[in-house]
Amino acid sequence: MAQNLGTKKEVIPSLIRSIDANEVVGFDDNLTKQCVLHIEIKDSEENILEDEISNIISIKPSTEPPVSTPRSENVPVDRYFDALEGPELDILRPSEEIVLPEDKQWPFLLRFPISSFGICLGVSSQAMMWKNLALTESTHFLHVSLNVNLILWCISVLLFALVASTYLLKIIFYFEAVRREYYHPIRVNFFFAPWIALLFLASGVPPTVTTSLPHFLWYVLMTPIFILELKIYGQWMLGGQRRLSKVANPSNHLSVVGNFVGALLGASMGLKEGPIFFFAVGLAHYTVLFVTLHQRLPTNETLPKELHPVFFLFVAAPSVASMAWAKINGSFDYGSRIAYFIAMFLYFSLAVRVNFFRGFKFSLAWWAYTFPMTGAAIATIRYTSEVPNIVTKFLSVSLSTIATLTVFGLLVTTILHAFVLRDLFPTDIAIAISDRKPKTVRKWFHRRASSSEKDIEHYLKYVTSNEKEVEVSVTAKDVENQIPLP
């Protein structure tokens, strides 16, 4: 092994950047135990990762015969379900191992998840809400200044620039990590977040900045959403690993709500056919999602068993849809009201259970769950213009207050986590799962216990036989996956 460590320096730096997970994993399965013994921990983040990867890679030309490691292009979706748990599918199951060292701090970019765009969603929707509060006649009695909108909008733009440029760096330097986020069945929905945030920014643009946006902007913003939808909805329809009966989760709402936000912006700009197109696509797939999520199929493994902030995403689509339809149609008619009242019922249905939301581990993704509240508040302001009375005005004010307080509370929590607890960006387990089932842990310890001294010898044997076990278990796995196990 010593000579392998010697070759460490020869590893080309580009290898460090793109973590070729398959390569790593292939050997990880066999040799991790030995490797771990040789890792020299250094302080620099980069170095640790470099070491880990170098170690693993440098072993490559060893005398060890290269056991058959089937190279799969992507981590199969079942691996995510097998290896992870929790409503955001980001907690490693006890039986699993990860390909990166868990006890060391990873490079910042590797710990910067796509869900960070949730912050942009939360703040930019607030900017839009305050614009509505200031400009809508029904809330004139509040005398809200347009400056609140202006300030929030500027903050949103800055935040977006910051988050987007950071994530861009991640794309450049750790493309494999981004790819793994994209294949993560929950995370993939967050790839809609940047574009929805931009749509909110465009909708919430302060009148002092501009009052008319160019049409091409809408087309530019809707293109990535359209492409992502072709991909995601196609996966639902055409089945395979990512079929809806398997991946349905409230976070899928993010993949639908973009249609309605886009339709709203487009119709506000004066476009006609485009917004209806997205409204129609959204409506069809929202129906599918609404029914599927309400059914809670036993195969929907990622649906949170308990109440969780993610459920507030239920409110997003119908509340934005009601506004979009009102804009398309020119009036807040029965269609808009039906959508609005569905949103209100869902909101209320969650609000009465809000005291169940306890003991959840804070995560950046929570930011994404605040924009539906803001959306509901904006829809209520819109509805109040239509039906102005004391009840609706009270509702407008309270929903806006709740939304603002929630965002503020989350801001405080985020700052607390960022600067006091210093754990805002924890190790992102979700992208570091091995793409193969690890050895069954129990069996392993049992063997170790029984044959205490001949560890390595036994271990190698074990791996060799295990290698076959993996093959078999993969096949068995496929069969199991068809049976909707929890």
Does residue number 358 form part of the binding site for a copy of itself (CB under 8 A)? no
68, 349, 398, 401: residue in contact with a copy of itself (rule CB under 8 A): 349
| Positions in 285-314 near a copy of itself (CB under 8 A) | 285, 287-288, 290-299, 303-305, 307, 311, 314
Report the Cα 463 to chain-centroid distance in Å.
35
- Looking up tokens 């890679």 gives 57
* Contact letters for a copy of itself, residues 188-227 (x by CB under 8 A): ----------------------------------------
3-state secondary structure of 205: coil
Report which of 114, 96, 93 is spatially closest to residue 189, judged by C-alpha positions.
Answer: 114
Compare residues 172 and 230 and give the one whose CB is closer to a copy of itself: 230
Residue 406 beta carbon to a copy of itself: minimum distance, rounded to whole angstroms:
20
Does residue number 281 form part of the binding site for a copy of itself (CB under 8 A)? yes
CB 439 within 8 A of CB 96: no
173, 182, 277, 357: residue in contact with a copy of itself (rule CB under 8 A): 277
* Contact letters for a copy of itself, residues 240-259 (x by CB under 8 A): x--xxx--x-----------
Size of site (CB under 8 A) for a copy of itself: 63
Residue 338 beta carbon to a copy of itself: minimum distance, rounded to whole angstroms:
4
The CA distance from 362 to 344, in Å, is 26
CB 84 within 8 A of CB 92: yes
Residue 462 beta carbon to a copy of itself: minimum distance, rounded to whole angstroms:
28
3-state secondary structure of 121: helix
Paired tokens of 262? 């886009």
Paired tokens of 374? 């803001």
CB 123 within 8 A of CB 156: yes
Q: Which residues contact 373 (CB under 8 A, 6 or more apart)?
A: 312, 315, 347, 399, 402, 403, 406
| Positions in 371-410 near a copy of itself (CB under 8 A) | 387
Q: What angle do CA 388, 390, 392 make, to 5 degrees?
A: 60
CB 433 within 8 A of CB 79: yes
Residue 284 beta carbon to a copy of itself: minimum distance, rounded to whole angstroms:
5
Kindly report the length of the chain. 486
Going from the C-alpha of 181 to that of each of 53, 228, 333, 384, the distances in angstroms are 20, 14, 41, 41
Torsion of CA 133, 137, 138, 140, to 10 degrees: 60
Does residue number 276 form part of the binding site for a copy of itself (CB under 8 A)? yes
201, 254, 342, 399: residue in contact with a copy of itself (rule CB under 8 A): 342
Does residue number 48 form part of the binding site for a copy of itself (CB under 8 A)? no
Choose the binding region for a copy of itself from 11-19, 105-113, 128-136, 270-278 (rule: CB under 8 A): 270-278
**In the complex, which residues of this chain contact a copy of itself (CB under 8 A)?**
229-230, 233-234, 236-240, 243-245, 248, 273, 276-277, 279-281, 283-285, 287-288, 290-299, 303-305, 307, 311, 314, 328-329, 334, 337-342, 344-346, 348-349, 352-353, 387, 479, 482-486
